[in-house]
């Protein structure tokens, strides 16, 4: 019996595919420093659990398909405070940002259609478009240009009659790039000219550094009906396991259409929604301390990486990832070798090989993505392991 072509065509997650090797390293008694995954160590605000503990009902009933009304209100209120004009009826609660992405792709593309995505990109953009038989067409961005968008003509040259949308994360995972208002206006112009949707994944909206102010795609005028915003509490409130996300758009036909998908999967877990309401009520002040912590960690990783002979990264400006160029031909092999054959003072390091974040074959072969979601000591230890591993790696380039 053969499995579907669609499932066979899916790639493994570069973030998680090395887990078996990490598990074996742990069995050998090594401590594995996880810089491969964006699982923050920041404590989930207590308000989340308190709300769930206080939720005293006899039956955990299905919730509304569009989400709990109080959560829709709380998200709309958070958007207003963030300068983004969404009303509760513009929003649908989803099972994480992941489901919002799947729904956005289903709602905007048919099988055989194409989506333009700046690469390197969050690997699941491929993971979600492939099974929908939608082709992810990369807009290549480069580490030496700090992953800025290329010129308008270059992007337009990739558009065919099958192109339906431009999908991007801003701030960027894995790049840490934060798009300027000009870049967003360029995307808006392209979308208007070629009749495209703009799917903006803004799950890292609060995490921008260097005094930059974040511009949401939803606040660019003239494309309100084309914009779909993907959001999540996973990183925003360090609540990855709660699986609460949302999709928002001013396009009421799109929202009514996505609601059909929401109805088909019935609802999002009731208890987590009860917790999420309180998170969204925290107010924007909550982010100040968290942001300062990530900024501090960003500087440690940026400086640490650039002190390692042969390693190089540009300073990321948002989210909590950085793409690092290494003096190796095959970063995938290097990452496996670190877990299977290397340790330094009882520890080894898990990273995400960056090739999996590119759709263009051959790109990113010498790169890894590091996530700076661990506390300072762990980050410094991880960087030391990286430095020593590069010295010891038999296939290191001269
Ligand atoms: C850019 C981006 N979008 C979406 C997601 C999915 O997040 P969620 O946990 O909300 O499904 C992630 C998770 O790492 C991400 O980095």
pLDDT at residue 398 greater than cutoff 80:
no
Provide mean pLDDT across the span 346-359: 95
pLDDT at residue 16 greater than cutoff 90:
no
Gap between the Cα atoms of 264 and 259, Å rounded: 9
Helices (H), the chain: 5-8, 19-27, 46-53, 69-81, 96-108, 124-129, 152-156, 181-194, 252-264, 270-280, 286-307, 331-341, 376-392
DSSP labels for 267-329?
A: ---HHHHHHHHHHHTS-TTHHHHHHHHHHHHHHHHHHHHHHSTT-B-PPP-BTTEEEEE-S-S
pLDDT at residue 15 greater than cutoff 80:
no
- Ligand 1 pocket check for 122: Cβ under 6 Å: yes
- Ligand 1 pocket check for 316: Cβ under 6 Å: no
pTM: 0.96
CB 393 within 8 A of CB 366: no
Which residue shows structure tokens 């669609």? 6
pLDDT for position 13: 79
Gap between the Cα atoms of 92 and 20, Å rounded: 36
- Residue whose C-alpha is closest to residue 164's, from 111, 217, 108: 108
Provide mean pLDDT across the span 288-306: 96
Angle between helices 96-108 and 252-264 (to 10 degrees): 120
CB 203 within 8 A of CB 97: yes
Per-residue pLDDT of 61-112, as tens digits, reads 999 999 999 999 999 999 999 999 999 999 999 999 999 999 999 999 999 9
- Ligand 1 pocket check for 176: Cβ under 6 Å: no
Per-residue pLDDT of 321-344, as tens digits, reads 999 999 999 999 999 999 999 999
Provide mean pLDDT across the span 10-37: 90
Mutate to test the pocket of ligand 1, among 38, 99, 217, 234 (most ligand atoms within 8 A of CB): 234
pLDDT for position 396: 86
pLDDT for position 159: 98
Provide mean pLDDT across the span 305-320: 96
Domains in the chain, CATH or no CATH each: 5-43+286-392 (3.90.1150.10), 46-280 (3.40.640.10)
pLDDT-derived band at 270, boundaries 50, 70, 90: very high
pLDDT for position 17: 82
- Ligand 1 pocket check for 240: Cβ under 6 Å: yes
Provide mean pLDDT across the span 289-311: 97
């Amino acid at each position: 019996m053969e499995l579907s072509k669609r499932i066979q065509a899916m790639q493994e997650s570069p973030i998680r595919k090395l887990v078996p090797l990490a598990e074996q390293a742990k069995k050998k008694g090594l401590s594995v420093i996880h810089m491969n995954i964006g699982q923050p160590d920041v404590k989930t605000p207590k308000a989340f659990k308190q709300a769930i503990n206080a939720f005293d009902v006899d039956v955990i009933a299905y919730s509304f398909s569009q989400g709990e009304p109080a959560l829709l209100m709380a998200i709309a209120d958070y958007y207003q405070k963030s300068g983004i004009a969404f009303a509760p009826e513009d929003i649908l609660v989803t099972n994480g940002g992941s489901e919002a992405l799947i729904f956005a792709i289903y709602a905007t593309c048919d099988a055989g259609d194409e989506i333009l995505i700046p690469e390197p990109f969050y690997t699941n953009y491929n993971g979600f478009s492939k099974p929908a038989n939608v082709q992810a067409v990369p807009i290549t961005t480069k580490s030496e240009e700090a992953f800025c968008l290329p010129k308008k003509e270059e992007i337009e040259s990739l558009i065919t009659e099958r192109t339906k949308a431009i999908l991007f994360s801003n701030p960027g995972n894995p790049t840490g790039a934060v798009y300027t208002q000009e870049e967003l206006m360029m995307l808006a112009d392209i979308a208007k000219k070629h009749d495209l949707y703009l799917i903006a994944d803004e799950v890292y909206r609060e995490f921008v550094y260097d005094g930059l102010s974040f511009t949401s795609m939803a606040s660019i005028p003239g494309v309100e009906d084309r914009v779909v915003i993907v959001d999540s509490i996973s990183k925003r409130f360090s609540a990855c396991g709660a699986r609460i996300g949302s999709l928002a758009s001013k396009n009421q036909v799109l929202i009514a259409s996505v609601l059909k998908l929401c109805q088909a999967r019935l609802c999002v877990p009731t208890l987590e929604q009860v917790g999420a309401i309180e998170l969204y009520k925290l107010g924007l002040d909550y982010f100040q301390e968290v942001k300062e912590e990530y900024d501090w960690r960003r500087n440690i990783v940026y400086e640490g990486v650039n002190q390692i002979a042969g390693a190089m990264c540009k300073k990321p400006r948002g989210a909590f990832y950085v793409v690092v160029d290494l003096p190796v031909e095959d970063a995938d092999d290097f990452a496996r070798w670190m877990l299977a054959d290397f340790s330094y003072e009882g520890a080894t390091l898990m990273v995400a090989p960056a090739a999996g974040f590119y759709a263009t074959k051959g790109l990113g072969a010498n790169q890894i993505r590091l996530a700076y979601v661990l506390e300072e000591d762990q980050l410094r230890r991880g960087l030391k392991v990286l430095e020593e591993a590069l010295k010891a790696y038999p296939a290191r380039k001269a």
